[in-house]
Amino acid sequence: MIDSLYAIIDAEVADHPLALTFQALNAGCAIVQLRAKRLDDVAFLEIAKRVRSACAHAKVPFVVNDRADIARLVGADGLHLGQDDLCIEDARRVVGDMQIGVSTHTLEQAAAADAEGADLIAFGPVFETRTKENPDPVVGLQTLEAVCQAVSHPVVAIGGITPENASEPLRAGARYIAVISALPRFLADAS
């Protein structure tokens, strides 16, 4: 299951984001995404450089959340966009052919992101989540499965995923499971 783990390192929540990154990389995660909704630009850029370096050394793709400028500055492998961020077309002007993932919460949003050229479709919350301040309604496994069948790009299941329920989104067709708050538990189980 670790080979499907899309580890989201929230620099504002993790006590030691770089240490958590190293743990995720050592456990064999598939992708690392750096998220920092409130950090100032200088602090975000500095931590992004360090996480990028660790990911490059481990040969694991590194994704920056929301910030096309920082993704380009650090030479990230990918950019992840939310529904209120840049559109894919505008983001491509900044990051070129870098992989772009898009958060979606309905079948229609997932199909639109797929048609607009997203390389990864994040879909959720699959289960109830406490990580987001104002989470979207829970989509459930049945809708996740419908999205996985409807889109042509890999799907990243997100929202409320724990070691106990992680196999369910994978059985529904998700290629990856994105984890934020339960990440330390996944990493403890992997060691």
CATH annotation of 2-190: 3.20.20.70
Specify the pLDDT at position 130.
Answer: 72
Specify the pLDDT at position 189.
Answer: 80
Specify the pLDDT at position 132.
Answer: 62
Give the pLDDT confidence of 40-72 residue by residue, as tens digits: 999 999 999 999 999 999 999 999 999 999 999
Active-site residue, from 130, 132, 171, 185:
132
Specify the pLDDT at position 173.
Answer: 98
**Where do the structural domains in the chain lie, given as residue ranges?**
2-190
Q: Which two tokens stand for residue 181?
A: 């708050």
Task: Write out residues in the chain with pLDDT < 50, as ranges.
Answer: none
185 is catalytic: no
Active-site residue, from 4, 35, 52, 67:
35
Rg (CA), the chain: 15
Whether this model's pTM surpasses 0.85:
yes
Specify the pLDDT at position 191.
Answer: 66
Specify the pLDDT at position 13.
Answer: 84
191 is catalytic: no
Specify the pLDDT at position 131.
Answer: 66
Active-site residue, from 4, 52, 67, 103:
103
CA 43, distance to chain mean position in Å, is 20
35 is catalytic: yes
